[in-house]
Amino acid sequence: MNPIKHTLILAALLASNTLMAQIEDRGGVVARNAELVKVKDGFTFTEGPAVNRMGDIFFTDQPNNKIYKWSAGSNEITLFKENAGRSNGMYFLLNNTLITCADEKMNFGQ
């Protein structure tokens, strides 16, 4: 077989496999037919989401110095912590302890 023709066939096969992989539903994170729903607004700048074992999502409103919790069970947002040290990035440890990065000194004695 002609090497150029062989290369073109190989390139076509790779391209078609790549295309199929991009459109194939592999059971991703978002459920089929899912819709975006705004739960609440009024935040200034949200960031740093972290998810606990129950599926609740914690996020910050960094300029307002607060951490909020979205409950997976009730679909409600509640204030989790005020005076959060202007936290932004967050992470849950295996023991369910929430760790945050903050750009303001925190006083844990309060």
98-102 and 57-61 beta bridge pairing:
unpaired
Q: Tell the residue number behind the tokens 């199929």, with chain if given.
A: 20
* pLDDT at residue 64, rounded to an integer: 93
CA atoms within 13 A on the CB side of 110: 8
pLDDT digits (tens, 9 = 90+) for 9-43: 555 555 554 444 455 556 677 788 888 888 888 88
Record the tokens describing residue 31, joined without a space.
């459920």
pLDDT digits (tens, 9 = 90+) for 62-110: 999 999 999 989 999 999 999 998 998 899 999 999 999 888 765 555 5
